[in-house]
Amino acid sequence: MTATSVNTAEVAIVGGGPVGMMLALFLDRHGVKTVLFNIEQDTRWHPKGSTHNSRTMEHYRRLGISRSIRALGLPPEHQTDVSYFTRYNSHELARIHMPSEREKIRSVVAAPRTHQNFEPIHRANQMYVEQFLSGHVRTRKNIQLRYGWQVDQFTESDDGVVLQAHRVQQKNADNVDYFDHAVQAAQASERGPAGASQSERETWRVQYMVGCDGGQSHVRRTLGIPYQGHDNLKQAFLGGRTISSHLRVPDLITRCFSGRESWQYWVVNPELRTALVALNGKDEFLYWTRLPDGQEFNQQDILRSFQQACGLPLQVEVLGNRNWTAGVALWAEQFGSGKRIFLAGDAIHLFTPTGGFGMNTGIDGAANLAWKLAASVQGWAGTHLLASYQTERQPVARRNTTAAQQLARNVGSVPVADCIEQNTAAGEDARRSAGAYLSTFGEEFGSIGVQLGVRYDGSPLIAEDGAPPPDSYVSYTPSAVPGGRAPHCFFDPPGLLHRRSLFDLFGIGFTLLRLHSASDSGAALKSVAIAMRIPLAVVDVEDDEARQLYGRDLALIRPDQHVCWRGNRLPGDCLALMRQVTGH
């Protein structure tokens, strides 16, 4: 390819992690052509988060991939409990019981028709899901892939973005320690593609660009956008520099956990606080080690820490290590340039992993951004539509990062007496006290209000009608008050394995729900939508329980499944309504 060749797409996505791939898939669903750049040749085979919350599972469902993702991760009968030990071969302090995947599906089959958590949380490590998503995006004709390519320069103008990319020199990926990957990538971005031949460079012209390139985002730093938020936690665990180690330990379950298997295993004693996450339900685990300030990484220290946590010597194979900072709660001051360049995922918010909110918040944000980019590309967006991305999502970033840090603070303040491991009356009292405290941590692994309770109250795109329910991390109140996620209901009675969902009827664009047969036909709104080139589906839902949930005969649902208007009849000025909800 010559230096003068210019490639084109409608949207460029910089960063091929789960948020970048999901953004590409959302845009593909809207018919928008994208090019996705990823520094590495493929997804990184190193464990990260293992939580795909209920809202993320709903997003997977509308892309048609939720069942495939539920087949990943732990075996369906494997318990997803969280258990706490003094050491893995010793006293169990507390256990938070949570259902296996099979039990969760059974509960949905038996649930009442207005059950809201119809796509329950799923435990599958991100590395498995990223690999699946990577294979899936390769099947989509609207998505061009540039794996092993890095965007090093870009220029924004009134009518688009021109970017330069170069092919990245790859290292041997066998048993890699990933400590310096983000730093090296950032330095490479600043140095530029020195020595790259013309055949290793490409020029692209796009209408919009989105940086999904992580906490060290080259796009964000080039735009000069800083993070803001809360100071890092300074505590014994989940605060400060941390190493995530991918381990293979063939005898761990039989030697330590036989009959008391879990998804997460914690150690709490005066010497050590750490956690272990089951990956495949057999012999692979993710292990966390906090590095004391000023201490350099030494793999022998990791192995020594793991042996101390187990309480006995076990054969361990280290498959990889990754460096990160726990206890952060940060969000970007701006979510883009304000014109044609935007940011998503870790590029705009950094979490401590408690609660598993990070990737899920990023995917939900990508769902918000995707339809607004599609509207802008397709010509039906108002001039203020893209600005609403920050207006709506920055409060969510503040809310969710703060919630995750508070959960981490709770973990760091577990009372641990010096005698907690002793087989004495005092030791038993200490274990009982610690166990009672740890037993209150259930919401760290549930937090249904964080999962389903995101609202966009006060957004200029929302036609207000009624008071929203109070915000809560621990509970979710379904409400059709405009601004929140559309309330859910099944059309099939309990007992069927794959029940028809109201969400399955929503269109790719806007959806007008007619919840009473005598309600307005929606013809006036449909006529306005056609004139404005806004995709709109009119869906009849003759169902008393659904009508009770929505509290009105009509409800207008956005492409991201949030209610933006409701009423018993269409407004006299349907043009004004559609202009409002599309950012005019």
pLDDT digits (tens, 9 = 90+) for 304-326: 999 999 999 999 999 999 987 77
**3-class DSSP assignment, residue 285:** strand
For residue 186, the model assigns a pLDDT of 41
Q: How far is CA 440 from CA 121, 237, 262, 266, 268, in A?
A: 20, 18, 17, 15, 15
For residue 355, the model assigns a pLDDT of 65
Beta carbons of 345 and 212 less than 8 angstroms apart: yes
Beta carbons of 504 and 489 less than 8 angstroms apart: no
Task: Pull the structure tokens for residue 265.
Answer: 């295993």
Q: How far is CA 80 from CA 108, 252, 352, in A?
A: 17, 17, 21
For residue 222, the model assigns a pLDDT of 97
Q: How far is CA 258 from CA 80, 88, 252, 274, in A?
A: 15, 11, 9, 20
Residue 38 CB neighbours (<10 A): 25
Mean pLDDT of 466-487: 95
| Dist CA 127 CA 176 (whole Å) | 15
Beta carbons of 65 and 81 less than 8 angstroms apart: no
Please, what is the Cα angle at 410 between 484 and 428, to 5 degrees?
135
Mean pLDDT of 109-118: 97
Assign 114 a pLDDT band (cuts: 50, 70, 90): very high
Average pLDDT over the chain, rounded to an integer: 90
pTM of the model: 0.93
Helix axes 574-581, 523-532, angle to 10 degrees: 50
For residue 5, the model assigns a pLDDT of 87
- In the chain, what are the domains? 6-73+119-232+329-404 (3.50.50.60), 455-581 (3.40.30.120)
Task: Pull the structure tokens for residue 162.
Answer: 């021109």
Task: Pull the structure tokens for residue 573.
Answer: 């000025």
Lowest-pLDDT choice from 2-16, 80-94, 286-300, 375-389: 286-300
Beta carbons of 312 and 255 less than 8 angstroms apart: yes
Cα 557 off chain centre by: 22
Assign 174 a pLDDT band (cuts: 50, 70, 90): very low
Q: How far is CA 222 from CA 191, 337, 366, in A?
A: 13, 10, 21
Mean pLDDT of 351-365: 86
Q: What is the percent of the chain where pLDDT is above 90?
A: 78
For residue 177, the model assigns a pLDDT of 47
Residue 179 has pLDDT above 70, yes or no: no
Q: In a 10 Å sphere around its CB, with 0-12 CB exposed, 13-18 middle and 19+ buried, how is residue 123 labelled?
A: buried
Mean pLDDT of 367-393: 98
| Dist CA 522 CA 138 (whole Å) | 39
Beta carbons of 252 and 246 less than 8 angstroms apart: no
Assign 410 a pLDDT band (cuts: 50, 70, 90): low
Helices (H), 379-447: 387-412, 425-438
